[in-house]
Amino acid sequence: MAKKVAVVLAGCGVFDGAEIHESVLTLLRLDQLGAQVTCLAPNIDQMHVVNHFIGEPAEGETRNVLVEAARIARGDIKDIAAVNAEDFDAVIVPGGFGAAKNLCTFAVDGPAMTVNADFEAFIKAARAAGKIIGLMCIAPAMSAKLFGANVVCTIGNDAETAAAVEQSGANHENCSVDNIVIDEPNKLVTTPAYMLASSISEAALGINALVEKVIELS
């Protein structure tokens, strides 16, 4: 029977939303494994809008996370507040700055971050129902807020970011771009993806490993 997997997107675009390569690679591998995928996003405004051509904030512009994420999902997406976590076997969250700006405030507040209420409620409901959760790139920075103190995760090997993750209450493990870190008690799988990857092919190595492990454990 096909596994039902929720993929949570934080917008569209590496600098202010979900990382597009990570998102598409995740969706591709899930499809190749025969999973039934539902894309989700919170129906909120982005923290800000970044002009990806020049890499600078676009002053005065606003965009909605759900509307922007629908670009990646080809329009087939749901408001995360309107679905039940119990309906899925697993949850995967790609990275990109949107994970640290829209799903939580790590980009601004570091270890003192807050997490979007709808996203947090969905993940905690998934945890309570025993679902497997995969976080990639910068998304694992939220691990302690979502799973509690001493959860084990990785963002790769950046010392400053890893220190901030540990200050938030998580236990960080260094990890190569092609590998994953598994916290079995918390049913959490993490991988660095573009925190380390220098190409889409490199990013695919860890992302594929994460997706495969999430499907295996779910």
Question: What angle is formed at CA 205 by the lines to CA 159 and CA 143, rounded to 5 degrees?
Answer: 45
Q: Is 39 a catalytic residue?
A: no
Give me 64's structure tokens: 């909605």
Determine the number of helices (DSSP H) and then strands (DSSP E) in the chain.
Answer: 8, 11
Distance CA 88, CA 192 (A): 24
- Give SS3 for 20: helix
- Give SS3 for 182: strand
Give me 120's structure tokens: 């947090």
The DSSP element (H or E) to which 4 belongs, if any, is strand 4-8
Q: Which of 12, 39, 104, 137 is catalytic?
A: 137
- Catalytic annotation, residues: 137
